[in-house]
Amino acid sequence: MGKAMFDRQLVKGHMVKHLYKHILGWPIMFNDLKDIDEEYYNSLKGLKDMGADVEYVGVDFTVMEETMGVKRTVELVPCGADIDVTEDNLPEYIEACLKYRMLGRYEDQLNELLLGFFDVIPEPLLTIFDFQELELLMCGLPEIDMEDWQQNTEYSGEYDREGPNHEVCVWFWEIVTEYDHEMKARLLQFVTGT
């Protein structure tokens, strides 16, 4: 990837958002987990919402991992099997789960990826980019499905009743459809923040 970037060649596949953050040395946040495993994210979030009742779930500081059909228990912290999750230590449990799921599972592979990348592109040169700009630099503009965008747009205010059939919304979509690829991507990033 670093060589492709150095040679100004686009990488065909897009990586998950948190890998760009790893490359830039940005912190990984709890919401980043939602991008790779929404069910797991919702489970952890559900534990947060349980309050004091979390103690009755019977969770400890371990996770079950299956690799090629072989299951094994991974301790998230030293002696994790002996530590029950309580309301008091729930934040530490969630942080340990996040670190393991986003880094610990493939720490060796990630370290090799970063070492190879930084062999070609020095890390200080990347400090001017955010993770979205790095993705754009490495992979180019993604293809934007206008039909999907229109179908998944939520309207509010006076546009709520008529939605995409409101005269102003029809005009908006006519203009956006005429935009070039870059302008569509900029608009989409502006309105969604992604």
Over pLDDT 90: what percentage of the chain?
18
> Which of 192 and 108 is assigned the larger pLDDT?
108
Q: What is the pLDDT of residues 112-162, one digit of tens each?
A: 988 988 999 888 888 888 888 888 888 877 778 888 888 888 888 888 888
What is the number of other CB atoms lying within 10 angstroms of the CB of residue 158? 9
Q: What is the pLDDT of residues 13-54, one digit of tens each?
A: 777 888 888 888 888 889 888 888 899 999 999 988 888 888
pLDDT of residue 130: 86
Is the pLDDT at 171 greater than 90? The verdict is yes
Q: Provide the mean pLDDT of the chain.
A: 86
Q: What is the pLDDT of residues 79-94, one digit of tens each?
A: 989 998 988 999 999 9
Q: How confident is the model at residue 193 (pLDDT cuts 50, 70, 90)?
A: low
Specify the pTM: 0.64
